[in-house]
Amino acid sequence: MDTFPATLLQITVTAPILIGLVLIAGRSLPRSFASGFALGGFALPAVLAPWLLVLWSSESTTVAQFQSTGLWGFNFGLNGLSAPLLAMTAIVGLAAGIKALTQEVESRNTYLGLILFMLGGTLGVFGTNHIIGFYFFHEFALIPTFILTLFWGGEGRRPAAMQMAIYLTVGAMASLAGILIAIDASGMGFAQANFGDVAHGLQSANHIPAAVGALVLFGLGTLASLFPFHSWAAPGYSAAPTPVSMIHAGALKKFGLYGIILVGLSSLDITGGRLGDWFLWMAVANVVVVGFICIAQRDLKQLVSWSSVAHMGPIFLGIWVCGKSGKADGLDAAAFLMVAHGLSCAALFLLANAVRTRTGTYRLDALGGMASRAPILAALFIAATMASIGLPGFGNFWGEIGVFLSLRDQSLWLQAIIASSVVISAVYALRAVAATFFGPASESLEKRFASAPFGDLGWAERTAVGLLLLASMAIGFKPALVTKSTNEVTKLVTTYSQHNAKAPAKAVPAQPVKR
C-alpha cells in the first residue's frame, strides 16, 4: 500500500499540535517568529487535507483509506465521510488562524498555541479511524476551547464557559458510555474498535442494550446542539474569541453529527420506535423553535450563534429520514450540509467580528448604514448570509434542497414545517443584514465614525473570508468534490441501518463487507 498519503494524514493532525506545543512552551518567542511558525501550523493542514480529499479514491476496496498506526493505538485513517470534513476543518482552521494572527491579545503565543491545539484535536477527530481515538481527540480539543473561552473570551465569558463545560462534559460522558457499550456489544476489543469493524460487528450482535441508542443520540446530540440540549451553544459561541467560535461551531461541533451517523444511525436503530419519534420532534424543534429564537435576537453575534444551532435542524432531519425511509439521499444531503455549514458559519462569525471591531458593538439597533462605509465587508457579509440560508451557488444549497427532497415521501405537515424554515431563516438573516448594512446609521455609530473612522476589510480578513466562501462555492459548483467520497459511506450506513431496523435476527449481509 502506498504510505505517502498516510504520512500526509499524520502530518495534518500532528503538525498543529506540535507547533502549538512549541508556542506554549516558548512563551517568550519573538513575535515575528511565533507568527510565522503559527501560520505554518494553520496553513499546513489547509494544504494537505484538501489534497487528501482529492487523493481519496472511491475505487478503493476499503472504506477507510490512508490507514496508519498512531500514538495511543488510535489509528489514523479517512473514510468517505471524514475526508471532506477533515478538509473543511483545515480550511476553517486556516481562516480562524489568520483571524487569530491579526488579533492583539495578552499572552499571544499561548493563545495561538491553544488554538492550534484545538485545531489539531478537531483534525484528529476526523483523521482517526478508531472510535475511542475519535472521542479522545474531541476531548483533547474541548479543553483548550474551555480555557480559551474562559481567558480570552468576551462579555459573559465566565458563566458561558462554565455552562458549556458542564453541558459538554455530561454529553461527552453519556456518549462515552454509549460508545463503550456499543463497542462491547459489537464483540470488538477496545483496542481494535474501528468505525467499520464496530458497525459491522453490531450487525450480527445478538443483544444490544436498548438504552445505547439513546445514550449515543442524546450524548452526541448535546455536543451537536440538538434541541433541548442546545442551550449551552449560543452563549458559548458568543462569549468565545472569534477564532474559537469559528472552529468550534464550524468544525468541532460536527463531531457529534459524525458520531451519530457512523455509530448511531448505522447500527443502533436511533430512528426506529419511540426513540425515533423523539429524535424527529427534537430535530423539528431545532428548526422551528430555535428559528424563532433567532428572529428574536437583537445582537449580531448572538444571532450568528443561534443560527448555527438552527442549521443543525435540517442535518438532524436528513439523518432521521435516512433511517426512516431507508434511502441514502437524506444522509447524502445531511453530510453535504455538514461540510457546507462549517464553511458558511465560520465566515459569518468572522465577519460579525469584523463589524464589531469597527463599530465596537454587536447590537443591531446601534448599527446601520455600514454598506456605504465598508462596501467590501457588506458584500462579503451578504454573500456569507446567502450561503448560510442556502442560495444556489454555495454548498449549503445542495444540502438544504437535498434534505427537503428527501422528505418528499414523509407526511405533508412535516414538509410544510420544513419549508417554513426557509422563510424563518431568510427573515432573521436578511433582517440582520438590513439592520447592519443598510438604512440610516445609528447616532452612536455616526459619533464613533466621527471620532474613530474605520476602514473596510483588511487584506487578512479578506483572505480568510475569501478562502471560506471560495471553498463553499467550489463545492456549490462542483458537488462531486464532496459526494464522490460521502456517497460511499452513506450507501453503506443506509444498508446497515435498514438491516438493523428491519431484520435484527438476520445474519451478516451476504455482500462483501467493506471496512
Among 55, 177, 376, 422, binds other proteins (CB under 8 A): 177
Which residue, 149 or 425, has its beta carbon nearer to other proteins? 149
Least distance from other proteins to the Cβ atom of residue 137, Å: 8
- Helix or strand run (H / E) with residue 256: helix 254-259
**Beta-bridge partners for 128:** 76
Work out how close the CB of 70 gets to other proteins at its nearest, in angstroms, rounded to a whole number. 10
Of the residues 139, 356, 361, 410, which one makes contact with other proteins according to CB under 8 A? 139
Of 305, 317, 276, 338, the residue nearest 421 (C-alpha) = 317
For the chain, first and last CA: distance in Å?
16
The one-character DSSP state at 311 is T
Q: 309 φ, ψ to 5°?
A: -70, -45
Cβ 72 to other proteins, closest distance in Å?
5
Q: How near is the Cβ of 396 to other proteins at its closest, in Å?
A: 33
- The correct pick among 55, 181, 205, 391 for binding other proteins (CB under 8 A) is 181
Choosing from 73, 159, 439, 455, the residue that interacts with other proteins (CB under 8 A) is: 73
Report the site for other proteins in 210-229 (rule: CB under 8 A). Answer: 211
Give me the least distance between CB of 259 and other proteins, in Å please: 16
Residues 147-176 touching other proteins, rule: CB under 8 A, are 150-151, 165-166, 169-170, 173-174, 176
CB of 185 to other proteins, least distance (A): 9
Which of 42, 140, 237, 306 lies at the binding interface for other proteins (CB under 8 A)? 140
Q: Which among 43-51, 67-75, 336-344, 422-430 is the span making contact with other proteins, rule CB under 8 A?
A: 67-75
CB of residue 136 vs other proteins: minimum separation in angstroms? 5
Which DSSP state fits 130?
Answer: B
Enter the C-alpha cell of residue 35. 507568527
- Nine cell digits for residue 470: 471560495
**C-alpha span between 39 and 44 (Å, rounded):** 8
189, 375, 439, 458: residue in contact with other proteins (rule CB under 8 A): 189
Closer to other proteins by CB, 163 or 463: give it: 163
Question: What residue type is 138 in one-letter code?
Answer: H
Helices (H), 266-411: 266-267, 273-296, 300-310, 312-325, 329-359, 370-373, 375-389, 395-406
d(Cα 397, Cα 403) in Å, to the nearest integer?
Answer: 10
Cis peptide before 228 (omega within 30 of 0): yes
Confirm if 313 and 224 have CB atoms less than 8 A apart. Answer: no
Determine the size of the site formed for other proteins (CB under 8 A): 27
Q: Which residue in the set 1, 54, 105, 191 belongs to the binding site for other proteins (CB under 8 A)?
A: 191
User: In whole angstroms, how close is the CB of 150 to other proteins at the nearest point?
Assistant: 6
21 binds other proteins (CB under 8 A): no
Phi-psi region of 299 (alpha: psi -120 to 50; beta: other; left: phi over 0): beta
For 5, what's the count of Cα atoms within 13 Å in the CB-facing half-sphere?
19
- Here the contacts of 288-292 (C-beta below 8 Å, separation 24 or greater) are 288/313, 288/417, 288/420, 288/421, 288/424, 289/227, 290/227, 290/230, 291/421, 291/424, 291/425, 291/428, 292/424
Closest distance of CB 152 from other proteins, Å? 11
**CA separation for the pair 505, 482 (Å, rounded):** 35
Q: How far is the CB of 357 from other proteins (least distance, A)?
A: 25
In degrees, rounded to 5, the angle at the alpha carbon of residue 88 between the alpha carbons of residues 283 and 265 is: 35
Q: Binder to other proteins among 180, 414, 417, 501 (CB under 8 A)?
A: 180
- Per CB under 8 A, the segment of 70-78, 230-238, 312-320, 367-375 that binds other proteins is 70-78
Residues at the interface with other proteins (CB under 8 A): 71-73, 132, 136, 139-140, 143, 150-151, 165-166, 169-170, 173-174, 176-177, 180-181, 183-184, 189-191, 209, 211
